[in-house]
């Protein structure tokens, strides 16, 4: 069975994907020539926090290979196919832009306890399909009790507060020698390099944006106010 | 008339040692032409005085600065004419300045003047903002120190200047030197258990075991002036240690060349005199300040009702009520999630206040959040209470003001700073050695000495009390304000230190103490139920 799939991947899938990628490349070239706009060569919307968003063909290859590679038994063959496809679009195999990044944000709220059945679990508030609806219910099939909104909102508010406090307590690291800054008043490291934050402001804001989106979706007013102040959003 | 006026203006300028450019001269003449006869001389003098204050550093007067001064004087003139009412409504007398709106000024050590930072101030600064926080604090105090008589550099090299000369040497110059030297630096713990003095150039390890200290709490992150000797092992043995000396408020203001450090706008000399006069006449104005009002504690609410009833029946109601946090006996942490109950409790407070019609109509209400109140962060400065909690209260009392912590209030010309933080307890915990009992035994007096000498409301290490890197200037006390109100859970106290009135209101919910303050005479009435 596995031999059959492996064979299929190296023959059928590789051929059809190569054909599709070729079509995409030709199509994109035609589209970009007709528009004559160098900026929209990728034709894809930019996602915040992902600087390595390639063009349509590269994204297609990355996504398809990521899905196929989920099956452990054929992973090797999928990697070989991926290498060939990437060679076709002239992208190095281990380049940063060839790495697959899940565009969906993820935030895990740990130790959520159901008041009815005392079930304790971690919830991924962004990716769990059962939580995308308005009401959050206990995952245990026989229970289904809605979670206490106030408790959930408070948990999220406390995490947001803690993260904000931690941002201002973080260490500064030298750009050159990667040493943690010890002195307070100096602007340069002993190796004459300048400093950077361990957690950048943009990184921090993108994580806080997840909270803001959750607050909007679930209509948590206090969390929304707190996160919008942290993100400096002018309402 | 214009030729003689022209000559007059030029002559007056020459006497003051200034050079007027032709377009500036035209501006001045157009202003002066509005006045006739003896008023003309007065107008010219006033204008030139204002110009002197404006451009202190250069002797050449440009058209822009002349134009600015002219338009300011015209505005003040118009304002004086239209407001014939000598006592304006209480609303314009009290100006509340939110901490996030205070302008940021940085000291340039090369040009030796302050300049305003006009760019954006993000809440989450980059790495350079953190270093700038410490450097700006240090520069603020070092420029103040440079004007002190004892520490300034002697102008002429002479025999006498070597006696008792306390010239500050940069720490970098201590390498390989012997003998007694004076240095100024920030106390930091760069290695576990070892304390260092750090200044703009370098850092040196210090030994404080035999040091003689002055009044105040010496903790990590305070800026000190130390005298000592450099030992062979590379350790600076400190003999005496103290805070940078205080500067008179007027002297500081003169150096600032009209910059608005407080945030409530600059005033012309005329306006200042007028407002100071009104301040003296406002004998009936009173501020009532309460701290730690637990809305979920029935007893505390009952006591508050008693206080409000008492002030309702007074002949002249207080002009400002300041309610400082914490507003709940449960701090905002993972265990407390009853925010809707808190919201309704705020609403009940609003109803209670609205039940006193005279207070609702004539007094203002200022709400300052406490360190454990619900809100986006525990980092200073703290923003106002969230609207979710205060909506119902706002419905009952439309002119309630929700401000940040710390908060600045300007009453005519008097500058008052409110800060709700348990500073006394935290400073006592963080100080490196017990405070000196030579001058005073009272820990509150030590605290006041510390914060005024440091020109900073919270000189604690950043790990103990984090501060938003770009907004450290909101906590500055420079130039020293007239009054500092600290909300602290320790005992109620008042203390006048070199002209600054400083008092602690004490906790209302636990000790039933509050303060009634009369700004016209800076009189503090410590009250209790």
pLDDT attached to residue B83: 43
**Among B472, B416, B527, B412, which residue's Cα sits nearest to residue B105?**
B472
CB contact under 8 A, B124 and A196: no
**What whole-number distance in Å separates Cα of residue B376 and Cα of residue B354?**
29
B positions 164-223 inside 8 Å of A (CB): 186, 188, 190-191, 198-200, 203, 221
Mean pLDDT calculated for residue range B357-364: 89
Intervals of chain A under pLDDT 70: 34-54, 235
Contacts of B529 (CB under 8 A, 6+ apart): B303, B306, B307, B512
Higher pLDDT, A42 or B301: B301
With both helix axes pointing from N to C terminus, report the angle between B63-82 and B269-281 in degrees, rounded to the nearest 10: 30
CA distances from B475 to A170, B408, B470 (A): 21, 10, 11
Lowest mean pLDDT among A83-92, A161-170, B213-222, B354-363: A83-92
E runs forming strands in B128-253? 180-191, 194-198, 203-207, 212-213, 223-230, 235-242
pLDDT attached to residue B129: 93
Mean pLDDT computed over every residue of chain B: 85
**What whole-number distance in Å separates Cα of residue B141 and Cα of residue A218?**
49
User: Residue B55: pLDDT band by 50, 70, 90 thresholds?
Assistant: low
**Among B114, B48, B73, B146, which residue's Cα sits nearest to residue B257?**
B114
**What whole-number distance in Å separates Cα of residue B461 and Cα of residue B43?**
52
Angle at B224 between CA B160 and CA B226, to 5 degrees: 45
Q: Residue B378 corresponds to which tokens in the numbers above?
A: 């525990």
Mean pLDDT calculated for residue range B245-254: 88
CA distances from B272 to B31, B202, B275, B279, B286 (A): 22, 44, 5, 10, 21
Task: Using DSSP, state whether B400 is helix, strand or coil.
Answer: strand
Place of tokens 């030579």: B438
Q: Is a pLDDT exceeding 90 seen at residue B502?
A: yes
**What number is the ipTM of this complex?**
0.78
B positions 317-356 inside 8 Å of A (CB): 332-334, 336-340
Q: Is a pLDDT exceeding 80 seen at residue B363?
A: yes
Among A156, A170, A178, A185, pick the best mutation site for testing chain B contact (most B Cβ within 10 A).
A185
Q: Is a pLDDT exceeding 80 seen at residue B301?
A: yes
CB contact under 8 A, A165 and B377: yes
**Among B114, B121, B118, B119, which residue's Cα sits nearest to residue B99?**
B121
Domain ranges of chain A: 2-29+53-98, 104-147, 149-235
Task: Give the nearest partner residue to A150 out of B186, B338, B377, using CB atoms.
Answer: B338
Give the pLDDT confidence of B69-108 residue by residue, as tens digits.
Answer: 777 766 666 555 544 444 444 446 888 999 999 999 999 9
**What whole-number distance in Å separates Cα of residue A53 and Cα of residue A42?**
9
Distance of CA B455 to the CA centre of its chain: 8
Domain A149-235 has CATH 3.40.47.10: no
d(CA B384, nearest CA chain A) in Å:
10
Cβ–Cβ under 8 Å, residues B367 and B375: no
Q: Residue B135 corresponds to which tokens in the numbers above?
A: 């450097």
Identify the bridge partners of residue B418 per DSSP, sorted by sequence position.
B407, B485
Task: Using DSSP, state whether B405 is helix, strand or coil.
Answer: strand
B467: which DSSP letter? B
CB contact under 8 A, A184 and B374: no
Higher pLDDT, B93 or B359: B359
Cβ–Cβ under 8 Å, residues B101 and B263: yes
Cβ–Cβ under 8 Å, residues B28 and B61: no
């Amino acid at each position: 069975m596995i031999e059959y799939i492996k064979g299929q991947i190296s023959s059928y899938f590789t051929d059809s994907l190569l054909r599709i990628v070729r079509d995409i490349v030709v199509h994109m070239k035609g589209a970009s020539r007709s528009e004559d706009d160098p900026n929209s060569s990728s034709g894809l919307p930019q996602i915040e926090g992902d600087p390595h968003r390639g063009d349509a063909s590269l994204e297609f290859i990355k996504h398809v290979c990521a899905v196929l590679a989920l099956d452990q038994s054929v992973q090797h063959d999928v990697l070989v196919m991926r290498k060939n496809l990437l060679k076709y679009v002239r992208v190095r195999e281990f380049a940063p832009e060839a790495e697959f990044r899940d565009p969906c944000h993820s935030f895990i709220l740990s130790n959520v306890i159901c008041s009815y059945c005392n079930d304790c679990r971690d919830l991924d508030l962004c990716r769990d399909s059962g939580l995308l609806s308005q009401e959050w219910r206990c995952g245990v099939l026989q229970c289904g009790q809605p979670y206490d909104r106030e408790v959930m909102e408070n948990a999220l508010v406390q995490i947001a507060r803690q993260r904000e406090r931690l941002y201002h307590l973080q260490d500064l690291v030298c750009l050159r020698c990667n040493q943690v800054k010890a002195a307070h008043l100096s602007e340069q490291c002993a190796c004459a390099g300048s400093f950077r934050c361990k957690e950048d402001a943009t990184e921090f804001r993108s994580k806080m944006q997840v909270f803001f989106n959750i607050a909007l979706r679930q209509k948590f007013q206090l969390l929304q106010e707190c996160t919008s102040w942290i993100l400096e959003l002018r309402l | 008339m214009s030729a003689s006026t022209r000559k007059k203006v030029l002559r007056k300028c020459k006497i003051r040692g200034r050079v007027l450019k032709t377009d500036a001269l035209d501006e001045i003449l157009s202003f002066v032409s509005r006045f006739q006869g003896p008023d003309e001389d007065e107008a010219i003098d006033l204008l030139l005085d204002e110009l002197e204050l404006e451009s202190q550093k250069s002797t050449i007067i440009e058209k822009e600065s002349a134009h600015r001064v002219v338009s300011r004087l015209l505005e003040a003139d118009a304002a004086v004419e239209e407001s014939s009412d000598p006592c304006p409504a209480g609303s314009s007398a009290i100006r509340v300045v939110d901490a996030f709106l205070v302008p940021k000024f940085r000291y340039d050590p090369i040009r030796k003047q302050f300049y305003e930072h006009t760019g954006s101030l993000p809440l989450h600064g980059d790495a350079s903002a953190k270093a700038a926080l410490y450097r700006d604090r240090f520069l603020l105090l070092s420029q103040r120190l440079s004007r002190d008589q004892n520490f300034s550099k002697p102008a002429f090299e002479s025999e006498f200047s070597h006696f008792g000369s306390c010239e500050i040497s940069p720490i970098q110059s201590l390498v390989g030197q012997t003998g007694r030297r004076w240095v100024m630096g920030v106390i930091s713990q760069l290695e576990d258990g070892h304390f260092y003095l750090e200044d703009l150039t370098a850092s040196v390890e210090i030994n404080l075991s035999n040091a003689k200290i002055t009044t105040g709490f010496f903790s990590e992150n305070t800026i000190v002036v130390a005298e000592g000797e450099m030992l062979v092992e590379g350790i600076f043995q400190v003999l005496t240690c103290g805070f940078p000396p205080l500067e008179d408020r007027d002297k500081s203001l003169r150096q600032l060349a009209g910059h608005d450090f407080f945030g409530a706008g600059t005033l012309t000399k005329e306006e200042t005199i007028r407002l100071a006069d009104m301040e003296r006449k406002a004998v009936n104005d009173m501020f009532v300040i309460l701290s730690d009002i637990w809305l979920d504690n029935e007893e505390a609410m009952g006591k508050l009702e008693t206080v409000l009833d008492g002030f309702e029946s007074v002949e002249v109601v207080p002009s400002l009520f300041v309610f400082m946090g914490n507003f709940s006996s449960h701090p905002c942490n993972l265990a407390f999630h009853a925010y809707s109950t808190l919201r309704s409790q705020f609403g009940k407070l609003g109803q209670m206040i609205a039940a006193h019609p005279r207070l609702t109509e004539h007094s203002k209400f200022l709400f300052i959040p406490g360190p454990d109140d619900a809100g986006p962060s525990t980092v200073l400065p703290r923003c106002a209470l969230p609207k979710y909690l205060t909506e119902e209260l706002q419905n009952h009392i439309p002119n309630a003001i929700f401000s940040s912590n710390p908060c600045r209030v300007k009453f005519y010309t008097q500058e008052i700073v409110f800060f709700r933080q348990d500073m006394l307890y935290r400073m006592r915990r963080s100080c490196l050695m017990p405070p000196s009992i030579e001058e005073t035994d009272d820990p509150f007096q030590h605290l006041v000495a510390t914060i005024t000498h440091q020109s900073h409301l919270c000189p604690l290490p950043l790990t103990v009390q984090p501060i938003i890197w770009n907004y450290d200037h909101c906590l500055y006390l420079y130039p020293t304000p007239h009054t500092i109100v600290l909300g602290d859970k320790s005992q109620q106290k008042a203390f006048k230190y070199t002209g600054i009135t400083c008092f602690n209101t004490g906790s209302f919910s636990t000790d039933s103490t509050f303060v009634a303050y009369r700004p016209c005479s800076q009189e503090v009435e410590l009250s209790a139920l």
